Chains A and B, each alone.
Chain A
Amino acid sequence: EIVLTQSPGTLSLSPGERATLSCKASQSISSFYLAWYQQKPGQAPRLLISGASSRATGIPDRFSGSGSGTDFTLTISNLEPEDFAVYYCQQYGRARFSFGPGTKVEIK
């Protein structure tokens, strides 16, 4: 089973700052099978990034994804007030999906 670890657990930043979120896999995965989601309180998760770096439809270009192998990163270049939320990475492998524990981006 592939385990995803996300860091930091909580990120305290101010609007306008840059957020860098990390997702590490316990073994190498194909970038094709790495995705990122945003979840706000009381809402379902929303797909942000698929294939490690492809933004989903309607996602602003301040969101970007990168990485390969075991190390992946979600960057939010200029935090807007609506970006404060929890972010999850997700992978697919060996007929199983799994999620990381999440990173909460909170207002400092």
Chain B
Amino acid sequence: EVHLVESGGGLVQPGRSLRLSCAASGFTFDDYAMDWVRQAPGKGLEWVSGISWNSLSREYADSVKGRFTISRDNAKNSLYLQMDSLRADDTALYYCTRVFGGSHFDYWGQGTLVAVSS
């Protein structure tokens, strides 16, 4: 059974950094691209970033480009999101997702909450 478990969220001041992690199990991790999707409180879904199976391709939403860095460690079956220069509008529940066929997200974690506030 596929499991995606996020961690690393918390309360952080504006301008500071946070690193999210996602532990994957139940599938061959390096067969899949992985992405982060976030959801601000009471709002809709926003795609944040994605990484190919071999880390050669990394993409970012315009809202986070230059501030966030996605990475993965296939040996550890783990996905990461380094978030720098955090802003109040980065406050959201961050979901780790598995990408299927380059077209959609077939599995989602339960999310980790990031709150940016002074």
Contacts and interface: CB of A to CB of B under 8 A. Distances in A.
Given A50-B103, A88-B44, A90-B104, A96 B109 contact: no
Interface string B14-37: 000000000000000000000101
Nearest to B50: A97
Contacts of B108: 44-46
A15 interface: no
Interface of A: 32-33, 35, 37, 39, 44-47, 50-51, 56, 88, 90, 92, 95-102
Given A46-B108, A99-B47, A92 B59 contact: no
B61 interface: yes
Contacts of B41: none
A51 B106 contact: no
A3 B104 CA distance: 16
Contacts of A46: 108
B59 A96 contact: yes
Given A44-B110, A45-B108, A35 B103 contact: yes
Interface residues of B, number: 23
Query: What's the dominant secondary structure at chain B's contact region?
Result: strand
B104 A50 contact: yes
25 contacts: A33-B103, A37-B45, A37-B105, A44-B95, A44-B108, A44-B109, A45-B105, A46-B108, A47-B105, A47-B107, A50-B101, A50-B103, A50-B104, A50-B106, A90-B104, A92-B102, A92-B103, A95-B57, A95-B59, A96-B59, A96-B61, A97-B35, A97-B50, A99-B45, A99-B46
The interface centre, meaning the residue of B44, B46, B95, B102 with most chain A CB atoms within 10 A of its CB, is B44
Contacts of B47: 96-99
